[in-house]
Structure 1
Amino acid sequence: MRRSRTCPFGLPPEDRASSPYTGYTRAHWEAVADGMLDAAWKWATPGGARLDLPGPPSHSGVRSDGLEGYARTFLAAGFRVAGAGGEDPSGLLERYAEGLDAGTRTPGRDDAESWPLILDHHVQGQPMVESASVALGLRLTRPWLWDRLAPDVQDQAERWLRCALRHVPAGNNWYLFPYTVAGFLESVGRGDAETVRARERALELLESWYRGDGWYADGDGRAFDHYNGWALHLYPLLDAHLAGDAGESARHGARLREYLESFSLLFGGDGAPLYFGRSLAYRFAASAAVGLGAVTGHTPLGPGASRRVASGSLRYFLERGAAGDDGLLNLGWHGPHPATLQTYSGPASPYWASKAFVALLAPSGHPLWASAEEAAPSEGPDRVLSVPAPGFLVQSTRADGVVRLHNHGSDHVRPEEGESAADEDPHYARLAYSTVSGPTSAANPADNHLAVAVGGARSARRRIHPLGSGHGDGWGWAGSWHRPVFPAGPPTVPGLRVESVTVARGRHELRVHRVLFAPDGARAELTGWATGPGGPVRSQLLGLHGWDTAEAEDVRAPQGTAFTRWAAVPRLAADVTGTAVLVALASLTAEPDAAPLDGVVDRVEVTGDTVTVHWAEDEARARIAFGRGTTVTVDHSP
């Protein structure tokens, strides 16, 4: 076994014959799971009910955080042992059985072992999240753990779990936590009307959140992010798979297959998943949907491509400091990164990464492990793919392995919230995200943003309204509009609206904006990608029409991003009063000899609210026509 400079776990030798892209095999996955669990269990309470990992507590408190440590590592242990047919060389299940007994004996008591009660999400909700991991761990390991428990321990565990069915979840993927608990109880002969209703309610809501193209909104709004893969698809399909329910497997599996058509493209050539949305400290959990698709057979990917994506993601993080020298997963992206976190993140939160180990449910002879690795979708020809349901435009380039997502549909504003009442969230509000860059912090200049400045106050983009999308051979587009909100001034300006269209072609991004009803003295500012000094990734931004100058200035973002401690952001500016049409060209590239942008476009014609851009390379033409109200049409022709 060897230990790499950045990975603290002992790993087998690489196998470049069967895994030419990553060198990882199933044995590597088992070794990582064992290493993660061994490191975490060093922090267990004497009775094993809590794993009190070191670090600042979440807003739920240290007792809930300790339960989180138990529950989330139990997921990894469950996949590890179940995938090995019950083999448990480290004696993990005995420890989890003892912890289950100690934790559920007197729940709610303020002592070193007792688990907190499961209450409504707004009172003491975090234990409901963890109840699903406990239930899933028990279901995966039933023959070797649950079936060997004393009846009184089974009864006390059921009493604690049932609280998840009797309290109110948050209005999003949380409804799948009691669904998962109910599924376990039914699988061990403890189902009743209460479990049936919990499952029916979750599926009713899940259906109402389905938007098409395999994508769910995470609740009643328009939040589309990694929760699609590691929650909204994972729980119902895995439940059906474990139950042997062919009908439900086919129904949920069809949607997973469609989801993976676009989602599998969101992993870069270096293995990185897209940096976008909340809970990014879960890191390689992003590959859970890919692994589940391979395990269940509901995937458009070949087994070699599935393994390349999943193993690539695992290796990407292990080689970039996701686990410290002590083997504990830290709170961040590469290494620790506070700006990545939400207030619900505690020391054990990163262990939802355990969901990636669903791939271990495929035994050693399964095609996922027996087939040779193949190229990931992003390693094929350059692609531009529109995904209408979430309002995404995905752009990947083979030369540098960079994947970019242009966001014209996902926000983090709840339906009941007014736009001015919502907090600005850099992980949703920006125009674009990638696998090699992250957004700047809310305290620094915003990257990939069209701001309107009125009276010195810059606007934010919150609720996003899609205008449409489409793609053709080698190009694609997506558009949206938003009402600028001013966090540091009057909340809104009457009538002010920004319409935005991105046209992607190769590595280039044509960014077209129409600003409507801008007051006298208003300024528009467009920023590009945030990148660090001297790094391999370059950000380019060029004004084509309506801007003060063609050349962008660099503004500083000292708090950096998840990828660099310090960043610079290119910015264009222009005076806007009434209606203004603005056109720019942007690029994010890791090509060392990437050409400047000034020769990419031959000319730009703006007639009223219609923009025609002529590409220099082949004289192709992109035409963007803004209509009355909030409509836009885009076409691209040779």
Structure 2
Amino acid sequence: MDEPRTSPASPRGRGPGGRERPPEDRELSPYTGWTRAHWEWAADGLLAAVAPYAGAGGALYHLPGGRPSVSGRRSDGLEGYARTFLLAALRVAGARGADPGGLLARYAAGLAAGTARPGGPGPEDWPRVTDRSQPLVEAASLALALRLTRPWLWDRLDDAVRERVADWLTDALTAEPHPNNWVLFPATVGGFLAEVGHRPAAARAAVTRGLARIEPWYAGGGWYTDGRGRAFDHYNGWALHLYPGLTAWLDGDAARAARYGPRLAAHLADQARLFGADGAPLHQGRSLTYRFAAAAPLWLGALTGHTPLSPGTTRRLASGALRYFLDRGATAGTGLLSLGWHGPYEGVLQRYSGPGSPYWASKGFLGLLLPADHAVWTAREEPAPVERGDAVHTVAAPNWLVQSTVADGLVRVHNHGSTHPDPDDPHYARLAYSTATGPAPHGAAPDNHFGLWRDGRITSRTEPEPLGAGDGWAASRHRAGPARVLSLVLAHGAGELRAHLVTGAPRGAEVRLSGWAADGSPRSELLPLHGLSAASAPPPVATAFARRATAPALRGTAVGDPRGDLFLCLARLTAVVDPPPLATSATVTVRRGSDGWELTVAWRGGPTQRARLTAESVRVTTAP
């Protein structure tokens, strides 16, 4: 095996909260240099940085950020308290109750103050949990934190405070959640209240009800949709697998573990492929400001024993993700997690995002529950899947094609199945995402897109329909204004063949195709092959990765071919210095059939793929 592509060594310096970073251990961790000590250091720093923003009673944490959520300041303050309390709970529980910094006393004071007059106007009063309200989300974090620290906190609280906190949480048992991952919040609260004997029948009913509601969303192969529809994203790992799996583990419920454990293991087999060699998780879906919460399911697999990953691979991926963000300014200047990706960036935020929202990243510290002598901490790091060789991998449920290259450590996901009710949502609507590029924000010309040019703008990708994925390919169909577009991608190495078959477009209609939005490092390329020619690129835009990213563009014209109008190009996203010309990556031939088109793509140094496209279907075969 080649020498590992290591994270660049950083100066000892200071990290979150101004604390000195522990020395690296390149013998134990040849890829990241990080050990359990770095996780403890990061947790301590994050908790130290938020402490000055607690209210006088410690019940609300009003973190700076300049952007309140739609739920308002009081709810945002509760969010800051609850999410950092979860981090404190993982830190103390992982230390088996050792708490030299007095973290639990700090949060215990907040419990007493916040529940003294819930729903009141006082500066420390918590808002009540009501239907579809943000406090329902935070109730789940509170309940989980209390459950993890029960011997050292809950069992030592005054009876009156315990009763008030339990009563406040009880409203979460029957509050109506949004019909997505929120259905697990009443269940998580129910797990804690059932354990401590508060309204046990109602608590157990909430658990059963919440777990039952996610069953119709299980799409197989380890993947859930986040509610009805086809919203496949990071909520799989940091919510839809996390809460059921962790609750079953805490309950010692063998039957539920037997249900959720194999699903988690199947998910991790795919999720492990979605991290770049630099540690970056896939940049796709909503709530990306949660950053290294993407590590939570990795740790859950090790914690429960339901994982296909070795201990060394688990830690390499998780530590890589944590280090990726801390090395790139996620807490720069203040020690506080900013609303953004590397640093502040509005493009990854939603209306519900507030100053405390990024601390859902606390879930990424789940590994601290594993003792220091567990193999996940003592085994030598092993390479991530992206570091083991070039690969093209199909993920059936979301109809994704995962394309990774070892030379530059990039992961690209061709999205032919994950969607969102908003057809213009840049984090779901694009045809491809990666670990090194972000989509152009709302309102800008879309990257990785194909549509008709009408009335001065590009049509949206509406009514998307997956058509399948297989060995080196994925396909889907969508509506573009009056037309239907069948889209196919074939992939090998870093190369992509993008094919779009358009039917129903007015004769003479202009089509536009765009590539990856990048700033030159990595490099984004398009090469027209059939029906397309170069077009002016849209103005540069700021993405989560670059201040000035540009997506190359092509244009073509629909001629009304009875078989459909075919548009073909080669595409590439690469961080390799001086790669061979894109034109040399494949030899492509096109032939008209009686009712469609036939393509042959002979990849340089790779397989030959043949595809047959009609207005209604696609068929692909691959030969060595």
Fold agreement, TM-score > 0.5: yes
Q: Is 2:292–2:325's contact at 8 Å kept on the other side of the alignment?
A: yes
Q: CA deviation at 1:524?
A: 1.1
Q: Distance in 2 between matches of 1:617 and 1:479?
A: 22
1:543 aligned partner: 528
Q: Which residue of 1 aligns with 2:474?
A: 478
Gaps of 5+ in 1: 414-421, 485-491
TM-score, length basis structure 1: 0.93
Q: What number of residue pairs does the alignment pair up?
A: 608
8 Å CA contact 1:497–1:515 kept in 2: the answer is yes
Q: Is 2:382 the partner of 1:374? A: yes
| Residue correspondence of structure 1 range 595-614 to structure 2 within 5 A | 595-608=580-593, 609-614=596-601
Distance 2:570 2:70 in 1: 43
Equivalent residue of 2:91, what SS? helix
Aligned to 1:417: none
1:299 aligned to 304, 307, 310, which one? Answer: 307
Alpha carbons of 1:589 and 1:331: their partners in 2 closer, same or farther (altered >3 Å)? Answer: same
Aligned counterparts, 1:226-241, within 5 A = 226-241=234-249
Please give the secondary structure, in 1, of the residue aligned with 2:428.
Answer: helix
My pick for the range that moved more, 294-303 or 135-144, is 294-303
Match status 1:89 vs 2:74: no
CA contact (8 A) 1:601 1:613 kept: no
Q: Check if 1:39 corresponds to 2:49.
A: yes
Structure 2 residue matching 1:153: 3-state secondary structure? helix
| Contact 1:430 1:448 survives alignment (8 Å) | yes
Q: What is the SS of the residue equivalent to 2:143? A: helix
1:87-166 matched pairs, under 5 angstroms: 87-121=98-132, 125-166=133-174
Change (3 A) 1:201 1:303: same
Deviations 1:549-592 (A, max 9, x none): 3xx34513433211001111111110014320111111100000
Tell me the CA shift for residue 46 of structure 1: 0.7
Aligned to 1:182: 190
Q: Distance in 2 between the 1:616 and 1:357 partners?
A: 42
Q: Which residue of 493, 516, 522 corresponds with 1:506?
A: 493
Q: Partners of 1:338 and 1:614 in 2: how far apart?
A: 40
**8 A contact 1:65–1:348 mirrored in 2:** yes
Aligned equivalent of 1:617 = 604
Where does residue 632 of structure 1 map in the other structure?
Answer: 618
Shift of 1:273: 0.3
- Please state whether the residue corresponding to 1:265 is helix, strand or coil: helix
Q: Distance in 1 between matches of 2:104 and 2:14?
A: 31
**SS in structure 2 at match of 1:119:** coil
What is aligned with 2:578?
A: 593
Mapping 1:311-330, distance limit 5 Å: 311-330=319-338
What per-residue deviation string (whole Å, max 9, x for no partner) do you get for residues 426-461 of structure 1?
000000000000001122211100011134342011
Q: Residues 254-293 of structure 1 correspond to what in structure 2 (within 5 A)?
A: 254-293=262-301
Q: Is 1:390–2:398 an aligned residue pair?
A: yes
Query: Equivalents in 2 of 1:351, 1:402: separation in Å?
Result: 27
Supply the distance in 1 between the matched residues of 2:55 and 2:288 (Cα, whole angstroms).
Answer: 28
Q: Is contact 1:482–1:498 with CA below 8 Å preserved after alignment? A: yes
Aligned to 2:453: 453
The RMSD of aligned alpha carbons is: 1.6
* Alpha-carbon offset, residue 151 of structure 1: 1.4
Contact 1:610/1:623 (<8 A) preserved: no
TM-score by length of 2: 0.95
Once the two structures are superposed, residues 576-609 of structure 1 have per-residue CA deviations (whole angstroms, 9 ceiling, x without a partner) of 1432011111110000021121122223123132
> In 1, are the aligned partners of 2:347 and 2:442 still within 8 Å (CA)?
no
Residue of structure 2 equivalent to 1:416:
none
> Could you say if the C-alpha distance between residues 557 and 286 of structure 1 is closer, same or farther in structure 2, counting changes exceeding 3 Å?
farther
Shift of 1:206: 1.1
Contact 1:624 1:632 in 2 (8 A): yes
Match of 1:310 in 2: 318
TM-superposition CA deviations, 1:333-379 (whole Å, max 9, x none)? 00100111111111110000000010111110000001011101111
Q: What is the Cα deviation at residue 3 of structure 1?
A: 4.7
Contact 1:536/1:592, CA 8 A, preserved across alignment: no
Between 132-141 and 615-624, the greater mean CA deviation after superposition: 615-624
Q: 2:569, 2:353 → 1: CA distance?
A: 38
Name whichever of 192-201 and 254-263 sits farther off.
Answer: 192-201
Question: Unaligned regions of 5+ residues in structure 2, if any?
Answer: 1-9
What is the deviation of 1:5?
A: 6.9
Equivalent residue in structure 2 for 1:15, among 22, 25, 36:
25
Quote the Cα distance in structure 2 between the aligned partners of 1:13 and 1:632.
54
> 2:605, 2:548 → 1: CA distance?
38
Residues 616, 477 of structure 1: CA spacing in aligned structure 2 closer, same or farther, 3 A cutoff? Answer: closer
CA shift, 1:528, in A, is: 0.5
Distance 2:103 2:606 in 1: 64
Could you tell me how far 1:81 is from its partner in structure 2?
Answer: 0.8
Distance 1:272 1:451, change over 3 A: same
Q: What residue is the counterpart of 1:529 in the other structure?
A: 516
